[in-house]
Structure 1
Amino acid sequence: MVSASKTPLIAAILCVAIRVAILGWTRQRLRVVGWAATAAVLAFPLLQQLKLSADTSSILNEAEAGYPAIVQPVMPIIRRFDLFSAVTDATLFGPGGWMSAEEFWRRSIGGLIPQPLLLAEKIGVGTMWSVEIRSASLGTANSEVSLAEGFIAEGYALNGYIGVVLGATFMAIAALLVSNLISSYRPFLASLGMLLVSYPVLFERGIIGTVEVLGKSVQVAALMWLIYMMVSSVSTARLRVQNSKQLALPTSTIRGKSKSD
């Protein structure tokens, strides 16, 4: 969380928020969530500062000095709006020039296939965005950084404003499906829904990224389902043994008394 990614912390907070929403909102819970959100906003610049070197911090401080004083305290948060940066990248790259329809389907389907089954190395959409789109605005490509593209920037880079509409429609349907998965009583479906929320796919990915995360989540959800079945079978077996012992105890006691009489 401090040195690499805040996703684990955000995922935990989201899971708690979903749990509270299922139980129902009360004034006390709203008050707790409000204080927690305030603390998170205040702690954000401190966490971000720990990731930056002294030279980078000084450069950013000089850049922030050019903004109004009322905006400067929130600049660390504004800089972390990855989707705003992604839209800027897509605008500089131009509409509809990222990849062909054939390449789009090839990459999307490839995201569903596990890495061991692929003949070539799987490259995440975040890395592809960094190399192929962000390089248009920075002038250099960094293959070691995975960036969030979002459906707006992705759709614009793929097919202009029509791509944005298609991406928004896809993500709306995905959000409805995930909400139904979370409320499912089936372990596999519920695990799949929680994984899709824990990975920030609904908040910072587009079509390709959503399909890519779906492929990973299906594999993990299957593993969680197997673990659940193993634990459930062991628990059921122990419960049967305990019930059989409890049912056998009165019978043996009665028989013992009849023999002594």
Structure 2
Amino acid sequence: MMTWLPGGVAEVWIVASALVVLAGAAFAIPGITRVFLLAQVLYWSMSYIARPVLLLVVAPQPQFGDNVADPRLYSIGYDLGIAHALRPVAFGMWFYALLVAAFALWVRLRPNMWAFLTRPLTGNRNLILTMWVCYGIGSAARLSAWASGVAGSAGETQSSNPVLDLVGFFAAVGALGLIVYVDSPRRWVTVAVICGLSAGELLWSVLSESKTPVLGAALAIAVRFAAQGWNWRKTVGILVIAVLGVGGFGWLQSFKATPEDRLAATMVDAAYPASVRPYLSIFRRFDLLEAATDTYFLAGEHWLTPGLYLSTGLKSLIPSQLLGAEKLQSGTAWAQQVRGVSVDMTDISVSLAEGNVNEGYAVAGYPGIVFVMTATFALLVFGVYSLGSGRIVLIVAVGMAIVEYPILFERGYLGIMENLGKTLQAGIAVWIIGIGVRLLTRPASVPHIDGLLGPNDLDDEHHPTDDVGRGFVSDCDALTERVGEGVKL
């Protein structure tokens, strides 16, 4: 494996070449699918290329408060440690790149079969109104959580108030849904709405100490741009938005730090070259190399049996109240059972991102990687279908899931199923809200509020995507039609 290169460098090059192939395949696929694939390239590049290169070049000594320098890798040498940690990653990246390339060829050969990939993302009146209502309800829940001190924090193992957490998710649904679908005849209104909602998600990122909301907003903007057509200017703009989103999050986070925290951070950062220090906050947000190191130090042991692994994921789709048992929290279990093998996690309660490649390898080796990466791509394609389906349950349960949560980038099968279980509950709740909105607002009685509902949202014309998938939801349509004209699912 490129034995003429120093240890670790060869594996970095192999991963990089796979991501180049993945980026090329992404540009061969039309529509918004390209956005998610390029986002994966960017995310995995930061985790599996930029961070290893930083460690190989700087070779920082581990110190308290620095999660970039891994003491496990340092103890055996960064070159040897990174080489071993990245070998399963290299396999996973190449498998995924070839899978996407094969799909791109399939799309080119059978364009009619995959026509939904280029379906326009248009929101009807009921969808837009429902998103506004959800944003209002969710924002109230967020404010309540923040005021009561249960807003959550980075790495939290479970929500202090599950009800507020679920209702607060409505704000993310509303914000991201409006960013993607709102379309006012007055361009400045659309721009103002998108900027205002994005600023709100950035603020919530700071308050909740999580990069997820701001990255979700950046991804939603990218999806909107891509749905309107691709060009190189938009591609560069999307990358800039992603970098500024994470960088802005780190910058605003610094204002929350106490003088003692800032002094400690300055001392930690002093171990790195001055040219690198401004970007350390970004490096620290992409920590999948740590998860890859976790799997290496498992030393060939398997984390879960395949049967338990699959059944645990399926149980995550069922609400705990119906299941009658406590569900496995994969991030917490990974911290205790996988990282705990090589790091003393006694009295430490934290939820960690395991990564799709790393989780698959920890469960079943290379076949596990194939399974998880295939499941990840299947979710991506189904998410794209859902965003253009025009049906509220699919939009929220799957479409918003892949936009709001980083399940396509840093979670494995278990993390994907956990988040889908949460968004499925939210999707049903939003569907019920949509029924209420449709019953309470009639076209004749709702004024055109400065274009916020969109140019064609005040009539009930047939949505261009309503025919897609109507067969398997016809029973639900019949039910909702009996409840005051119904609501599009």
TM-score, normalized by length of structure 1? 0.79
CA-atom RMSD in angstroms: 3.0
Aligned partners of 1:195 and 1:217 also within 8 Å: yes
> Of 400, 404, 427, which aligns to 1:221?
427
Structure 1 residue 113, shift from structure 2 partner: 1.1
Matches within 5 A, 1:145-224: 145-192=350-397, 193-224=399-430
Secondary structure at the aligned position of 1:87 is classed as helix
> Of 245, 270, 292, which aligns to 1:87?
292
Structure 1 residue 50, shift from structure 2 partner: 5.0
- Residue in 2 that maps onto 1:144: 349
Structure 1 residue 143, shift from structure 2 partner: 5.7
- Residue in 2 that maps onto 1:127: 332
Structure 1 residue 178, shift from structure 2 partner: 0.8
Cα shift readout 1:70-123 (whole Å, capped 9, x = no counterpart): 333322222221222211112112345101123213311221110112222223
CA distance 1:91–1:40, change in 2 (3 Å): same
CA distance 1:51–1:36, change in 2 (3 Å): same
Moved more, 202-211 or 129-138: 129-138
Secondary structure at the aligned position of 1:219 is classed as helix
2: CA distance, partners of 1:218 / 1:25: 31
Aligned partners of 2:313 and 2:418 also within 8 Å: yes
Instruction: Give the aligned residue type for 1:146.
Output: S
CA distance 1:159–1:42, change in 2 (3 Å): same
Secondary structure at the aligned position of 2:429 is classed as helix
Structure 1 residue 16, shift from structure 2 partner: 2.1
Matches within 5 A, 1:239-250: 239=444
Identity of aligned residues (%): 35
Q: In structure 1, list runs of 5 or more residues that go unmatched.
A: 242-261
Cα shift readout 1:24-43 (whole Å, capped 9, x = no counterpart): 34677567546544533543
TM-score, normalized by length of structure 2? 0.44
Secondary structure at the aligned position of 1:204 is classed as coil
Structure 1 residue 172, shift from structure 2 partner: 1.1
Secondary structure at the aligned position of 2:342 is classed as helix
Instruction: Give the aligned residue type for 1:213.
Output: N
Instruction: Give the aligned residue type for 1:9.
Output: V
Higher helix share: 1
1: CA distance, partners of 2:352 / 2:255: 20
2: CA distance, partners of 1:196 / 1:142: 33
Secondary structure at the aligned position of 2:345 is classed as coil
Matches within 5 A, 1:7-46: 7-25=212-230, 33=238, 36-46=241-251
- Determine which structure has more spread, i.e. the larger CA radius of gyration: 1
Moved more, 226-235 or 178-187: 226-235
Aligned partners of 1:96 and 1:160 also within 8 Å: no
Secondary structure at the aligned position of 2:206 is classed as coil
1: CA distance, partners of 2:264 / 2:445: 67
Q: In structure 2, list runs of 5 or more residues that go unmatched.
A: 1-204, 447-489
CA distance 1:218–1:41, change in 2 (3 Å): closer
2: CA distance, partners of 1:170 / 1:30: 26
Secondary structure at the aligned position of 1:214 is classed as helix
Moved more, 135-144 or 112-121: 135-144
Moved more, 176-185 or 224-233: 224-233
2: CA distance, partners of 1:211 / 1:54: 41
Secondary structure at the aligned position of 2:297 is classed as helix
